[in-house]
Amino acid sequence: MLIGAGIAAAISGLIVAIAVRRTELLRDARDTLRSMIRLLRQPHRAPLLLGGQLGVNLAYIAALGFALHAFGQDVPPGRLAAA
């Protein structure tokens, strides 16, 4: 558990170090935050965003399932979603 925490801390530190050196990453993060705030101000758009994201994820699961089925594998949908 301690090793996992150390690895997580190292990765977090690396992300922060890269973000500080590359200002475009900080700019993109600010733009994302502004978009999220705009979404919170217009709550009627939230279901569209969530529905679209759910649809994309379901399409990925279906594509993986169809690809596995093409090669003769039969995997339950729950395992496909977990993968």
Burial state string for 7-34 with b = 16 or more CB within 10 A and e = fewer than 16: eeeeeeeeeeeeeeeeeeeeeeeeeeee
pLDDT per position as a tens digit, 31-60: 988 988 888 888 788 888 889 999 999 999
In whole angstroms, give the CA distance from residue 52 to residue 1: 37
Average pLDDT of the chain is 86
Q: What is the pLDDT of residue 45?
A: 81
Domain coordinates of the chain in residue numbers?
Answer: 1-41, 46-83
In whole angstroms, give the CA distance from residue 29 to residue 3: 29
Q: What is the pLDDT of residue 72?
A: 92
Q: What is the pLDDT of residue 67?
A: 94
